[in-house]
Amino acid sequence: MKKLKTALLCLLAVAGLQAQTKPVYLDNTQPIELRVKDALSRMTLEEKVKLCTAQSKFSSHGVPRLGIPEIWMSDGPHGVRMEIMWDSWDHAGWANDSCTAFPALTCLAASWDPSMSHLFGNAIGEEARYRRKDVLLGPGVNIYRSPLNGRNFEYLGEDPYLASRMVIPYIQGVQENGVSACVKHFALNNQERWRDRIDVQISDRALYEIYLPAFKAAVTEAKVWSIMGSYNKIRGQYACENELTLNKILKGEWKFDGCVITDWGGAHNTKEAALNGLDIEMGTWTNGFTFSQSNAYDSYFLAVPYLKMLRSGEIPVSNVDEKATRILRLIFRTAMNVNKPYGSLASEEHHNVGRTVAEQGIVLLKNTTGLLPIDASKYKTIAVIGENATRKLTEGGGSSELKPKREVSALQALTEKFGADKVQFSLGYGSGAVSYDKVNKSPYDADKLRKEAVELASKSDIVIFVGGLNKNTQQDSEGDDRRSYGLPFGQNELIAELQKVNKNIVLVMLSGNAYEMPWLPKATTLVQGWYGGSEAGHAIANVLSGTVNPSGKLPFTFAAKLNDYGAHSFGAIAFPGDSIREEYKEDILVGYRWFDTKKIKPLFPFGYGLSYTTFEYGKIASDKKEYTADETIKLSFTLKNSGKVDGKEAVQVYASQPKASVVRPAKELKAFKKVFLKAGETQTVELEVKVKDLAFFNEATHNWTVEPGEFVLCNASSSADVKSQVKIQVK
């Protein structure tokens, strides 16, 4: 009995010892910060440095000795990219990496509906989780400054408030799956041409009022876990190693507790990267773009060169401890998060989400003769013309390329909707094959294609033209910008010819950018369809047929000509720069702020979009007339669906300060809401605007200032269509 008692005591002692020595970092019941601290205390200097560098194209190191896994990343903002080879950009050729292609973010922004953002983010987060990705490289929130920026389709438009409200639920939806969103590109990545070296000169006001708010919302409200730096310089210093944006603003003013990840090859100097806020360096070989040696990952700026500086004392060890802490925090939130769901891939539910977002984002720009919605019973022959009716628009575009499980074209969906016996197709124009770094010529005879299309149009009762841009180089694509504001491949000439032979033409344009419209005066019907992803065709067909009432509104301004944009009104130094330096001379007057303040009439204003029904706005009222700086203004007005079709309207509230000590825009978006009304229904719409959100950034005090005095708040259906206004006083 005594021996048994002794044995039991020994067993209990061993168990107690084991319990005491069990790594806290493995105990998911403990707070993350305690687990991070515990794991960090067990790591060698070499292991801490390893965390900061890539081990393959899309993964960074873990700590194998301690059972801490690596971080796996994936493009992109519109779907989980196909698998890439370990150390080349070639596709891996897997059979199980097909995804749902979700609409481009311009389409999401055009929905003006944060609930769509959450649906989108959660669905793409489920796909990333299923594919065992820890970081999804998106969404993008760079501001639409010029319609020539090849990457605008990845972003959320020209207004910082709209982008801020739309990015928050997207991030929350992704991260509910234990996958980190990685908001990009921080900051001022507003062009692709010379993106790796252009040095942006910008005022503090423009930086804080226009280009940073969506990033700030992502950090301070959505609590995003990672951020990707941009390639360009900001005031002489590369963005991925920038003292101002990374240390002072992101990690200082905003208290960001996540990881800063380079864009691939975005680091340039070991000491600056280490001291100025970079945490994880990703890329290709030693500088992101060239191939040189077999041990290239060890030669990264935050690899062996960083380790040598730490050992020599040139950089304090506390520097790598801070980086490792952030990276471990990211790992515990994602790869070591045992509570995350399993996810799902390319499900019908996800395809339905994609189709719904695409439908909600499609914008009806013109419908003067009531040609839409199309009643197929009125027509015996329907001509579908245009390459974008059949072209795969999930291919190309750079890092946003996708391998969708399915992609329904406009032609396929329109044929299903209206009948194969009625629909005939003609290509009309042709573009070259997809290419990332060169413009490929079309293999087709342009004159022959145009002649065939015009002949078909002349014999058809109605024409549906599906054109616009595509995802080729120098269009909507990473790596280079558009060279012209016009439509490519002779589309303007083709549309003009079609207009001569048929008056019933529905123009459907697919793009992530604005474009010139010389044919607009003769056009009766125009639809902006964006890049709609896997279910793009069904979304287009549902809107054209009236199955869905269009409710999208423009997230950026369509100008009559390129030089009407503020960024293009000051010459090349303002866009695209002189290849070395660029000056944002339009300052805070970006997008509609420029058009409204300078009284330049656009083709279609920011926030504009029609419906198959009509809405009547009542007079806006505030809950009182005087407010202090810490109060909230409560606004209300009636909205009536005065038509015969159920529909949604994105109502908008803009604010202005008639008398200010600094230049202020004619108006600025401060609130919006997507409202559904049945035919004949009236609803009281209630919105709130915080007085502090009426502030401007004061460069003298480096703070936000709300000046006492009069402010005007108006309800509107677009930035150019104000319905009524109310004046309030700020004490």
Q: Is the CA virtual torsion 299, 300, 302, 303 positive or negative?
A: negative
User: 562-611, pLDDT tens digit by residue?
Assistant: 999 999 999 999 999 999 999 999 999 999 999 999 999 999 999 999 99
Which string of b and e fits 444-462 if b means at least 16 CB within 10 Å? eeeeebbeebbebbeebeb
User: 335-351, pLDDT tens digit by residue?
Assistant: 999 999 999 999 999 99
CA 214 distance to own-chain centroid: 10
Nearest to residue 617, comparing CAs of 643, 645, 647, 641? Answer: 641
420-423 CB contacts, 8 Å cutoff, 24+ apart: 422/376, 422/379, 422/380, 422/381, 422/382, 423/382, 423/383, 423/384
- Mean pLDDT throughout 657-665? 97
Q: Are residues 110 and 139 in the same domain?
A: yes
Confidence at 22, pLDDT banded by 50, 70, 90: confident
- Mean pLDDT throughout 72-82? 95
Domain boundary among 306, 333, 360: 333
The amino acid occupying position 174 is: V
Residue with tokens 């000795």: 65
Q: Give the Cα-Cα-Cα angle 77, 434, 579 (nearest 5 degrees).
A: 75
Structure tokens at 728: 């309030």
Its domain, for residue 495, covers 352-556
Q: Residue 713 sits in a domain of what CATH number?
A: 2.60.40.10
Question: DSSP string spanning 515-548?
Answer: ---TTGGG-SEEEE----GGGHHHHHHHHHHTSS
Helix (H) or strand (E) holding 279: none
Rounded CA separation 696/665 (Å) = 10
Q: Does residue 343 lie in a domain region?
A: no
Q: Does residue 194 lie in a domain region?
A: yes
Alpha-helical (H) ranges within 226-316 are 270-275, 304-312
Rounded CA separation 630/693 (Å) = 10
The count of structural domains within the chain is 3
Rounded CA separation 549/541 (Å) = 11
Q: Are residues 543 and 619 in the same domain?
A: no
Task: State residue 462's pLDDT score.
Answer: 98
pLDDT exceeds 90 at position 20: no
Q: Kindly list the distances between the CA atom of residue 274 and the CA atoms of 200, 250, 303, in Å, as whole numbers in the listed order.
A: 22, 15, 10
Q: Does residue 602 lie in a domain region?
A: no
Listed in order, strand segments (DSSP E) in 414-490 are 423-426, 462-468
Q: Are residues 389 and 292 in the same domain?
A: no
Just list the catalytic residues: 263
User: Do 60 and 282 meet the contact criterion of CB atoms below 8 Å apart?
Assistant: yes
Confidence at 438, pLDDT banded by 50, 70, 90: confident
Q: Residue 489 sits in a domain of what CATH number?
A: 3.40.50.1700
Q: Residue 117 sits in a domain of what CATH number?
A: 3.20.20.300
Nearest to residue 208, comparing CAs of 263, 164, 261? Answer: 164
CB atoms within 10 A of CB 31: 10
Domain boundary among 527, 556, 585: 556
Rounded CA separation 496/487 (Å) = 13
Task: State residue 89's pLDDT score.
Answer: 86
Confidence at 309, pLDDT banded by 50, 70, 90: very high
Structure tokens at 318: 């506390």
DSSP state of 287: T
Q: Are residues 260 and 361 in the same domain?
A: no
Confidence at 382, pLDDT banded by 50, 70, 90: very high
Q: Does residue 563 lie in a domain region?
A: no
Nearest to residue 547, comparing CAs of 647, 642, 676, 424? Answer: 647
Contacts (Cβ under 8 Å, ≥6 apart) of 224? 171, 175, 180, 181, 182, 183, 218, 258
pLDDT exceeds 50 at position 17: no
Contacts (Cβ under 8 Å, ≥6 apart) of 564? 595, 600, 602
User: Do 592 and 606 meet the contact criterion of CB atoms below 8 Å apart?
Assistant: yes
Q: Does residue 576 lie in a domain region?
A: no
Q: Does residue 584 lie in a domain region?
A: no
For the chain, give the mean pLDDT: 95
Q: Are residues 625 and 523 in the same domain?
A: no
Rounded CA separation 179/126 (Å) = 8
Structure tokens at 396: 């190309």
User: 669-709, pLDDT tens digit by residue?
Assistant: 999 999 999 999 999 999 999 999 999 999 999 999 999 99
Task: Judge if the upstream peptide bond of residue 576 is cis by omega within 30 degrees of 0.
Answer: yes
Q: Are residues 322 and 393 in the same domain?
A: no
DSSP state of 75: -
User: Do 689 and 655 meet the contact criterion of CB atoms below 8 Å apart?
Assistant: yes
Domain boundary among 304, 333, 362: 333
User: Do 667 and 637 meet the contact criterion of CB atoms below 8 Å apart?
Assistant: no
User: Do 263 and 185 meet the contact criterion of CB atoms below 8 Å apart?
Assistant: yes
Q: Are residues 329 and 366 in the same domain?
A: no
Residues pairing with 683 in the sheet: 639
Q: Does residue 606 lie in a domain region?
A: no
Rounded CA separation 431/470 (Å) = 9
CA 666 distance to own-chain centroid: 26
Nearest to residue 215, comparing CAs of 263, 154, 171? Answer: 171
Q: Does residue 586 lie in a domain region?
A: no
Q: Kindly list the distances between the CA atom of residue 213 and the CA atoms of 141, 425, 435, in Å, as whole numbers in the listed order.
A: 9, 46, 34
User: Do 198 and 580 meet the contact criterion of CB atoms below 8 Å apart?
Assistant: yes
Task: State residue 14's pLDDT score.
Answer: 41
Listed in order, strand segments (DSSP E) in 593-631 are 615-617, 621-622, 626-627
Q: Are residues 323 and 360 in the same domain?
A: no
Q: Are residues 367 and 232 in the same domain?
A: no
DSSP state of 251: I
Is the pLDDT higher at 381 or at 294? 381
Q: Do strands 647-656 and 709-718 pair parallel, antiparallel, or not at all (unpaired)?
A: antiparallel
SS3 category, 20: helix
Q: Are residues 446 and 492 in the same domain?
A: yes
Residue with tokens 């760079």: 142
**What is the length of the chain?**
731
Q: What is the value of pTM for the model shown?
A: 0.95
Backbone angles phi, psi at 193, to 5 degrees: -65, 125
Rounded CA separation 495/295 (Å) = 55
Contacts (Cβ under 8 Å, ≥6 apart) of 203? 584, 587, 588, 699
pLDDT exceeds 70 at position 12: no
User: 149-172, pLDDT tens digit by residue?
Assistant: 999 999 999 999 999 999 999 999
Q: Are residues 481 and 540 in the same domain?
A: yes
Tell me the CA end-to-end span of the chain in Å, nearest whole number. Answer: 85
User: Do 225 and 172 meet the contact criterion of CB atoms below 8 Å apart?
Assistant: no
- Mean pLDDT throughout 53-59? 94
Q: Are residues 300 and 370 in the same domain?
A: no
CA 484 distance to own-chain centroid: 23
Structure tokens at 615: 């809405």
- Mean pLDDT throughout 721-731? 97
- Mean pLDDT throughout 707-723? 98
Task: State residue 299's pLDDT score.
Answer: 87
